[in-house]
Amino acid sequence: MRGMFIVIAAGLILATIASWSRPSTFAFGNTTIPEVKGYDPVNDVKSWLDQKYFLDFGQRFAGSRSPSETSYIKQYVDFDLADSEQRIKRINITLALDLIFLAIITAVICLQALFRQRHSIENAALDGSAKTLRTFWRLKSKAQRLTAEISRRANHHD
């Protein structure tokens, strides 16, 4: 039974790892965007209110040749961020379920061990009771034989 739980737990862990590496499904369509002469993507990205694009993802914008391409790259970054957040949520949910399952398995194994221990204690008590009864019956029959022997000898001397 323990082996079955281990196989199921291993399957859950593998499913969790597989869910971490799901590919993005953002479809960009046609990526041929015309070039704008003299366009500087760094200054364009620096001018945005949200500096995370420049600070965290600046290297992605470096090769952009037009504002349209920069906007296109920004959409991709936004999608990537949203996808990462969804992945993290999926991972957290999966890990929580895995932990709950492992806690249940641990509880079942502990309960099995407790029941086995209780059963062995009951068996030992029964074995002890049986031994006590056997000893009692042996002593009783020995006492009866001795009593009979004493009575016989007493009757024999008379």
For the chain, domain boundaries: 2-20+36-157
Mean pLDDT value of segment 128-156 = 79
Lowest-confidence region among 17-21, 107-111, 129-133, 148-152: 17-21
**Buried/exposed 85-116: b ≥16 CB within 10 Å, e otherwise:** eeeeeeeeebeeeeeeeeeebeeeeeeeeeee
Q: pTM above 0.85? A: no
What pLDDT shows up at residue 1?
A: 58
Mean pLDDT value of segment 31-50 = 82
